[in-house]
């Protein structure tokens, strides 16, 4: 047992943190000094009985919604706040990036703060001097290093804080979503740096970026409302987490749907709205979002289904999915075109389909009063991970000339993830790599 704990960089046993909600700070003082420990507070559990061990040299990721206690847990591990009950054992020097510019004095220049952070981490001024150039080069904030930290942008603050945190020889690196404020270039620089730390350093990492957790953590921990929901392989945990977050969004959507009332201006015939209830409620998807059209048809609902026929919001590349939507026909449509397009987070249309392009077929006219169900079954292509938006539309005409009857711009948002790395927007799949060596080079025999 003792042998095991020696290999642990961080051991968290049954840690709880209750924030005591006081009516005033005077109550807090009275209680802290009360000889008979009278209670003046109401309890709020930010963390509830968390236990895990982080072995030396491994990288763990913590995921969870906002307010799930991730940051509190990190703060306790770093010793900034104290746990209410339980025990945290840490072996080695922690360098933490908890919040922007942690420990920086805003009145002092970047240079002075670099030195002071070093001293706080137990590195003497002389030693810091040797690393100073490297830190400044990494932070890359130019002349600002001689300016008071209070004049920094949040990006610069983060750059400096990160640069210092990784240059003070930590045994354990704790990073709390801080990277989110950096621009893409610096974020990548940081990730590369963290990756290079993976061999010699234990890493604890909080992120919303599922792909970062997937690609580099050995294990993931999922926190929700202060409780540890699960711990295990990042892929499994990510799946669980995403399913839960889908559940969460669904609840929100349903709540919104209840309040949103009828769709404005789209359909003056209120009897249609009454029938809406028979459809699956996803009204919020099209309730206030970009939609337009002549109105002979109305798209009522739209869902992406997985293989098991259940709605899905998180998709693996290569997975079989079904895009399903229902329409109400309010007037005759002679040459229907139904289609969808999928755009990435930049708004670029990545792929799509309609019944008039090769692979589809011509449809019979739609008549008033009909209810149409449309299903597109396809394999999710091997695209880069991220969020994708479905646009769906019903039009009348031919490919080159048609009028839209209902077009919904952001009908559906899904998240795509993949566990292997790739380059670019599309993965090209199997590649035959051949490299020929030129034997005539001077060193060769």
Partner 1 sequence: MIVKLRGLVRAFIEFVVLLFQRRQVIWELAKRDVVQKYVGSRVGLLWTVIHPLSLIFIFWFVFGFGLKAQPVDDVPFSVWLTAGMAAWFAFSEILAESTIMIVANPHLIKKIRFPSQILPVVKIVSSFINHLIFLSLLIVLLLLYRVPITFFALQVIYYYFCLTMLALGISWLTSSVNVFVRDVGQFVQLFLQITFWATPIVWNLDIMPVKVQNILRLNPMCYVVNGYRQAFIYHEPFWLNLREGLHFWTITLFFLVLGALVFRRLKPHFPDIL
Q: What are the residues binding partner 1 (CB under 8 A)?
A: 19, 25-26, 28-29, 32-33, 75, 78-82, 94, 96, 98-99, 101-108, 112, 115-116, 119-120, 124-125
Nearer to partner 1, 148 or 360 (CB): 148
The two structure tokens encoding residue 342? 């999928």
DSSP structure string for 38-99: ----EEEEEEEEEEEEEETT-EEEEE--TTSSHHHHHHHHHTSS--SEEEEEE-S-EEEE-S
Min CB(97)–partner 1 separation in Å? 10
Q: Specify the residue, 101 or 336, whose C-beta has the smaller distance to partner 1.
A: 101
For partner 1, give the closer residue by CB, 178 or 210.
178
Q: How far is the CB of 260 from partner 1 (least distance, A)?
A: 39
CA atoms within 13 A of residue 112's CA, in its CB half-sphere: 11
- Shortest Å distance, C-beta 92 to partner 1: 13
**Minimum distance between the CB of residue 19 and partner 1, rounded to whole angstroms?**
7
Backbone angles phi, psi at 306, to 5 degrees: -90, -175
The answer to whether residues 330 and 367 touch, using CB atoms and an 8 Å cutoff, is no
DSSP 394: E
Please spell the DSSP secondary structure of 169-234, one letter per residue: --SEEEEESGGGGS-HHHHHHHHHHHHHHTTTSEEEEE-S-HHHHHHH-SEEEEEETTEEEEEE-H
The smaller minimum CB distance to partner 1, of residues 126 and 435, is found at 126
Comparison of 165 and 323: residue with beta carbon closer to partner 1:
165
Shortest reach from residue 37's CB to partner 1, in Å: 11
Helix (H) or strand (E) holding 29: helix 25-33
CB atoms within 10 A of CB 237: 24
Task: Report, in Å, the least distance between residue 356 CB and partner 1.
Answer: 60
The least distance separating partner 1 from the CB of residue 67, rounded to whole angstroms, comes to 16
Q: Which is nearer to partner 1, 104 or 205 (CB)?
A: 104
Residue number, 206 or 242, with CB nearest to partner 1: 206
Contact by Cβ (8 Å): 119, 38: no
In angstroms, rounded to a whole number, what is the distance separating the alpha carbons of residues 183 and 175? 17
- The torsion defined by the Cα of 259, 263, 265 and 269, in degrees rounded to 10, comes to -110
């Amino acid at each position: 047992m003792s042998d095991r704990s020696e290999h642990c960089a961080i051991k968290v046993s049954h840690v709880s943190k209750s924030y005591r909600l006081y009516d005033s700070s005077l109550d807090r003082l009275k209680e802290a000094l009360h000889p008979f420990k009278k209670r003046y507070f109401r309890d709020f559990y930010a963390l509830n009985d968390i236990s895990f061990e982080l072995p030396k040299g491994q990288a763990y990721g913590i995921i969870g919604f906002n307010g799930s206690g991730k940051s509190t847990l990190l703060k306790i591990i770093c010793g900034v706040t104290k746990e209410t009950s339980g025990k945290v054992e840490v072996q080695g020097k922690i360098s933490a990036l908890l919040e922007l510019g942690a420990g920086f004095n805003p009145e002092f220049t970047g240079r002075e703060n670099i030195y002071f952070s070093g001293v706080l981490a137990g590195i003497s001024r002389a030693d810091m001097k040797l690393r100073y150039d490297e830190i400044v080069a990494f932070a890359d904030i130019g002349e600002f290093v001689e300016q008071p930290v209070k004049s920094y942008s949040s990006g610069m603050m983060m750059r400096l804080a990160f640069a210092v945190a990784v240059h003070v020889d930590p045994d354990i690196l704790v990073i709390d979503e801080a990277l989110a404020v950096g621009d893409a270039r610096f974020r990548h620089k940081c990730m590369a740096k963290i990756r290079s730390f993976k061999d010699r350093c234990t890493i604890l990492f909080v992120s919303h970026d599922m792909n970062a957790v997937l690609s580099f953590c050995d294990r993931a921990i999922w926190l929700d409302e202060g409780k540890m929901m699960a711990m295990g392989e990042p892929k499994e945990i990510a799946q669980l987490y995403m399913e839960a977050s889908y559940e969460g969004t669904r609840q929100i959507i349903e709540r919104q749907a209840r309040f949103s009332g009828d769709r404005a201006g789209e359909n003056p015939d209120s009897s249609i709205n009454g029938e809406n209830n028979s459809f699956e409620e996803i009204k919020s998807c099209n309730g206030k979002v970009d939609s337009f059209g002549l109105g002979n048809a109305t798209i009522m609902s739209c869902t992406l289904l997985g293989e098991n026929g259940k709605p899905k919001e998180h998709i693996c590349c290569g997975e079989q999915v079904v895009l399903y939507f229902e329409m109400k026909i309010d007037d005759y449509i002679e040459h229907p075109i139904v289609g969808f397009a999928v755009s990435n987070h930049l708004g670029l249309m990545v792929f799509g389909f309609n019944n008039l392009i090769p692979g589809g077929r011509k449809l019979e006219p739609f008549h008033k009063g009909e209810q149409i169900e449309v299903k597109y079954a396809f394999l999710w292509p091997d695209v880069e991970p991220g969020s994708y938006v479905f646009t769906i539309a019903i039009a009348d005409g031919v490919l080159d000339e048609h009028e839209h009857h209902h077009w919904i711009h952001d009908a559906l948002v899904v998240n795509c993830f993949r566990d292997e790395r790739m380059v670019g927007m599309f993965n090209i799949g199997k590649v035959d790599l051949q490299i020929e060596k030129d034997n005539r080079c001077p060193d060769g025999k």
